[in-house]
Structure 1
Amino acid sequence: MTLLISIWETKKVNGSDTYKLEAVPHSARKKEETGYSKRVIYVDKKANLMVKVLYYDNNGNHSKTYEAGNIKPVAGTDKYRCYHMQMTDISKDHVTKLEFTKIKIDNDFSDQLFTRRTLEAGL
């Protein structure tokens, strides 16, 4: 999706120094396809990860909020990941949370694990 992205400012969000960005679909068609008129995104300066995203529906109303926390480097690497993620759907008064206790990067998975047949079988 093509977006027009503007950097507004730097701001502290949930203890992280962040860049505040605004992403807006470049056309009415893209706006309709995504269902969002804009997203305000806060990116952690050190980890380069989104720590908060505010989603606005096509009427300009704040409809969802994504928040990430417990950001730390993955053991044995210099790569940061979010160990807690939460999406709040304001219009439905619903929250979905993801918690990770262990993350491993650069696993030695066989390419066979990612074939269409294997993925559809749910193995």
Structure 2
Amino acid sequence: MKRFTILLTTAVILSLGFSFGKSLTAREIMEQNEQMMNTRDERSDLTMKLINKRGKERKRQVVLYSKTDNQNNDKTLIRFQAPADVKGVGLLSIEEGGQKNQWLYLPALKRVRRISSSEKTDSFMGSDFSYEDIEQNDLNNYKYSLLREENFDGVMCYVIRSIPVDEQVKQETAYSKSDVWVRKDNYISIKVNFYNKKADLIKIMNSNDIRPVEGTDKWRAHFIEMQNVNTGHRTELLYKNIIINQGVADKYFTQRYLERGR
């Protein structure tokens, strides 16, 4: 996933041992972006707002758990807490042996359903994030090029373009390419433009309120917005209570917990 915790200090650059005189490749920049996001485990609460083009809002409360195991496989659980019509809905995403699987639990149906590969590009719970957006990207699935360096939102950024590395990845994704604005000071991405198979811009994601997480060397965006360019609909994510590397139990990442909540 970590499309919900996506996109997040000079100190980090120094600790990674890069010389300021060295020009990084686009791939190296994205590796440092990934390094900033990597944790053993993470937990956060968030408010999700679904806002249509007329400004009408629907609000949801969500808890998010993520963990990386000893084999470097990523696991994520998203659980809706409120309102009543979505309470108990959960999405479990697990990477294992190079395979990525997702299961959705809908309390009204009282069953767990696996998300098929053909559904990965569908909207997740009416939001502007797809199931694909929520999964953790594999850097090896894309080729990267540095388009330019520019000032965006008051900070200097690398602008990196990523495109699928082969035909298989092209078939699995809804996007022909994406452009990512990565901050030069801490390698956090603060904007992403997503393009469809016709190379039309279809979604824009912006990340703001970027702050360090207490007790760690990690930075996180506390506000993320994904906007659908065609419909004017947008989804806002407001994060709070972000906790990193304090221990998240393995029990959260099972189909049993997804269904029963215990």
Q: For the superposition of Structure 1 and Structure 2, which TM-score range results when normalised by the shorter chain?
A: 0.7 to 0.9
204, 214, 220: which one aligns with 1:81 = 220
Alignment pair present for 1:95 and 2:202: no
Give how far 1:28 is off.
4.5
Give the superposed CA RMSD. 1.8
Secondary structure in structure 2 of the residue aligned to 1:92: coil
User: 5 Å matches for 1:1-123?
Assistant: 2-123=141-262
Note the alpha carbon deviations across 1:31-74, whole angstroms, 9 max, x for none: 34212111011112233222100011111111000110111101
Structure 2 regions of 5+ residues with no counterpart?
Answer: 1-137
Query: Is the CA contact (8 Å cut-off) linking 1:32 and 1:58 kept in structure 2?
Result: no
**8 Å CA contact 1:25, 1:38 repeated in 2:** yes
Greater Cα offset, 96-105 or 80-89: 96-105
Which has a greater percent of strand?
1
What is the distance in 2 between the residues matched to 1:87 and 1:47?
22
Q: Which moved more, 1:26-35 or 1:97-106?
A: 26-35
Q: Which moved further from structure 2: 7-16 or 84-93? A: 7-16
Measure, in 2, the Cα distance between the counterparts of 1:25 and 1:37: 7
Seq. identity, %? 30
Name which structure has the greater RCO, CA cutoff 8 Å, separation 6+. 2
Q: For the structure 1 residues 122 and 92, does the alpha-carbon distance in structure 2 shift closer, same or farther, using more than 3 Å as the test?
A: farther
With structure 2 as the length reference, what TM-score do the two structures score? 0.44
